[in-house]
Amino acid sequence: MIRPKKTLLAGLIASASLLGAASVHAEAPAMTDAEKETAKQIYFERCAGCHGVLRKGATGKNLEPHWAKTDASGAKTEGGTLQLGTKRLENIIAYGTEGGMVNYDDILTEQEINLMARYIQQTPDVPPEFSLQDMKDSWKLIVPVSERPKKQLNKVNLKNVFAITLRDAGKLALVDGDNHKIWKILDTGYAVHISRLSASGRYVYTVGRDGLTTIIDMWFEEPTTVATVRLGSDARSVDVSKFKGYEDKYLIGGTYWPPQYSIMDGETLEPIKIVSTRGQTVDGEYHPEPRVASIVASLQKPEWVVNVKETGQILLVDYTDLKNLKTTTIESAKFLHDGGWDASGRYFMVAANASNKVAAVDTKTGKLAALVDTAKIPHPGRGANFVHKQFGPVWATGHLGDEVVSLISTASDKSEHAKFKQHNWKVVQELKMPGAGNLFVKTHPKSKHFWADAPMNPEREVAESVYVFNLDDLSKPPTRLNVAKDSGLPESKAIRRAVQPEYNEAGDEVWISLWGGKTDQSAIVIYDDKTLKLKRVITDPAVVTPTGKFNVYNTMHDVY
């Protein structure tokens, strides 16, 4: 469950009408149309990610007015928002719950909390669908392929560029990793969730929460946005086709709303196809809003791995013949979220976060290799791979809801790893963190360190720090680096969350975002990976709410 940022966002969504018309429920507390419109926008920005647009729940609880949970005898054990009522809902929104809901009393005003408590007792608003024609209407080809450079026109070492999300500014900073200078800041969608690289390393693709996707060409003298397209009204993921012969031919994007994925031309973003993900959950129930979470391009076959959150179905989408689309549907567990490759590049490890499991997909056989039980709410980002002294190759995930990092043994064809086979697909060790609230972990093949953040921890000191384990001795507690203090920035009222460690191309620096409030100065803080000493602080008035960072080389080659 996510938060930061105090003010309401102006112009977040391209058009509020994309969110659908507001309707008022007779049994729910009264609301004016204007109140409802404001609440609808706050719900979209703050709540829909975890609870769903239709409020059927995922990482967060079901928030339908008449929902009821029953026990084995059929007796009602929990009720919907109408049963909870305004006072109780206000308390939950303001102070959070032990179930993982964070407090919003430092983000929303008392009036806004009251507004939201009343709003979620209303029948959920259903936003409009988004068709292929809508996508086509939104498509802007700014520079056709024929007018783009034939070779790189600048001298920047593109492999060590970092694409950094400036969340609340709706921008992306491209920072030169060699000299730590901001190269260019470009407009994107709002709160770019991830950036992905073309197979060539020339293009950066971004996807905003508002569904706006952009392609940036780094071969110009200065990086230039060459096309944009809207995927829907709420999106989180994109990736290119990477298989030999199909490099950058297509781009796929996944949306939370409408629940579907779209396929576009990889160089122009011209829309080609939309496929709905509505259907049955792994439990056999129909779900009207199965959102597309992480997507990656398979390294084994011309396929994308598309993880559908609410149904728990993992789709392997074959892109060799888009007119006669072939899809393999693999049953795993509900609430699929983020994930990354194991070291061999054969198994995709994806968190089924609200099921407290990680699914390992064998992309060579097209089957589920394992469902691994983890601690509460695994949240790997892309995870991290290293060879454990005792257990061989492992892939690691932290947890939002538990104070451990789990190390899962992964299969390997290498003869020297045969002795570890007995451990495969088991959690072989848990590393103790100072508390829950981890979002991302990272290591590098050349490093002896393993980095973990804890930005969602309620304690300021924990959330503002990162924790570094020594791979040579994992029994030692991690070293804490207080990123907020190291940044040298003046203290601020809002917690400045230290988020998402990312290595440079050489694997000798680790970059951390210090994610402050929208009006506070934020920074990118760079550490020397060997000495753990502060190396550089990149701070500038333009560095507004930095979150995800994607080093070109490491993103292209899935180094983590």
**Candidates 187-195, 409-417, 426-434, 518-526; binding stretch for ligand DHE (CB under 6 A):** 187-195
Residue 469 CB, nearest approach to ligand DHE (Å): 18
Largest CA distance in the chain: 70
Q: Is 191 in the site for ligand DHE (CB under 6 A)?
A: yes
Site string for ligand DHE, 473-512 (x = CB under 6 A): --------------------------xx------------
Residue 441 CB, nearest approach to ligand DHE (Å): 9
Q: Is 381 in the site for ligand DHE (CB under 6 A)?
A: yes
Site residues for ligand DHE, 303-342, by CB under 6 A, read: 337-338
Half-sphere exposure of 91 (CA within 13 A, CB side): 6
- With contact defined as beta carbons under 8 Å apart, do 303 and 348 qualify? no
- With contact defined as beta carbons under 8 Å apart, do 16 and 37 qualify? yes
50 is catalytic: yes
424 vs 555 by CB, closer to ligand DHE: 555
In the set 47, 135, 264, 456, the catalytic residue is: 47
Residue 217 CB, nearest approach to ligand DHE (Å): 22
Q: Is 193 in the site for ligand DHE (CB under 6 A)?
A: yes
**Candidates 191-199, 219-227, 403-411, 446-454; binding stretch for ligand DHE (CB under 6 A):** 191-199
Site residues for ligand DHE, 60-119, by CB under 6 A, read: none
Query: Which residue in 397, 212, 241 sits closest to 305, CA to CA?
Result: 241
Query: For 47, which DSSP code?
Result: I
Which of 56, 118, 167, 399 forms a contact with ligand DHE (CB under 6 A)? 167
Query: For 193, which DSSP code?
Result: -
In the set 1, 31, 101, 264, the catalytic residue is: 101
**Candidates 190-198, 361-369, 419-427, 523-531; binding stretch for ligand DHE (CB under 6 A):** 190-198
114 vs 547 by CB, closer to ligand DHE: 547
Residue 49 CB, nearest approach to ligand DHE (Å): 2
Residue 302 CB, nearest approach to ligand DHE (Å): 18
Residue 500 CB, nearest approach to ligand DHE (Å): 5
Which of 175, 194, 489, 510 forms a contact with ligand DHE (CB under 6 A)? 194
Q: HEC string of 228-245? A: EEECCCEEEEEEECCCCC
DSSP 378-408: EEEEEEEEEEETTTEEEEEEEESSSSEEEEE
Which of 63, 293, 384, 433 forms a contact with ligand DHE (CB under 6 A)? 293
Vertex 326, ends 369 and 337: CA angle to 5°? 45
In the set 1, 31, 50, 264, the catalytic residue is: 50
Cis peptide before 4 (omega within 30 of 0): no
Interhelix angle 110-119/33-42, rounded to 10 degrees, is 100
Written as one letter, the residue type at 109 is T
287 is catalytic: no
Which of 13, 19, 50, 349 forms a contact with ligand DHE (CB under 6 A)? 50
Q: Left (φ > 0), alpha (ψ -120 to 50) or beta: where does 128 sit?
A: beta
User: In whole angstroms, how far apart are CA 156 and each of 47, 175, 542?
Assistant: 40, 10, 21
Place of tokens 């179905």: 313
Distance separating alpha carbons of residues 394 and 386, to the nearest angstrom? 6
In the set 31, 116, 218, 337, the catalytic residue is: 337
388 is catalytic: no
379 is catalytic: yes
Residue 262 CB, nearest approach to ligand DHE (Å): 14
Interface with ligand DHE (CB under 6 A), residue total: 23
Provide the 3-class DSSP secondary structure of residue 169: helix
- With contact defined as beta carbons under 8 Å apart, do 125 and 19 qualify? yes
Query: For 541, which DSSP code?
Result: T
Distance separating alpha carbons of residues 252 and 304, to the nearest angstrom? 8
Site residues for ligand DHE, 446-475, by CB under 6 A, read: none
User: In whole angstroms, how far apart are CA 182 and each of 244, 521, 541?
Assistant: 33, 16, 12
- With contact defined as beta carbons under 8 Å apart, do 253 and 269 qualify? no
Residue 258 CB, nearest approach to ligand DHE (Å): 16
Residue 193 CB, nearest approach to ligand DHE (Å): 5
Gyration radius from the chain CA atoms: 22
Q: Is 49 in the site for ligand DHE (CB under 6 A)?
A: yes
**Candidates 24-32, 175-183, 189-197, 402-410; binding stretch for ligand DHE (CB under 6 A):** 189-197
Residue 413 CB, nearest approach to ligand DHE (Å): 25
Q: HEC string of 99-156? A: CCCCCCCCCCCHHHHHHHHHHCCCCCCCCCCCCHHHHHHHCEECCCHHHCCCCCCCCC
Q: Is 42 in the site for ligand DHE (CB under 6 A)?
A: no
Residue number closest to ligand DHE, CB atom: 49
Distance separating alpha carbons of residues 234 and 24, to the nearest angstrom? 23
Give φ, ψ of 22 to 5 degrees: -85, 145
Site residues for ligand DHE, 224-283, by CB under 6 A, read: 236-237
218 is catalytic: no
Query: Which residue in 523, 545, 550 sits closest to 166, CA to CA?
Result: 545
Distance separating alpha carbons of residues 450 and 442, to the nearest angstrom? 6
**Candidates 245-253, 292-300, 391-399, 461-469; binding stretch for ligand DHE (CB under 6 A):** 292-300
Q: Is 439 in the site for ligand DHE (CB under 6 A)?
A: yes
51 is catalytic: yes
Interhelix angle 81-95/110-119, rounded to 10 degrees, is 150
The site for ligand DHE (CB under 6 A) is made up of: 2, 49-50, 59, 167, 191, 193-194, 236-237, 293-295, 337-338, 381-382, 439-440, 499-500, 547-548
Which residues are marked as active site?
47, 50-51, 101, 337, 379
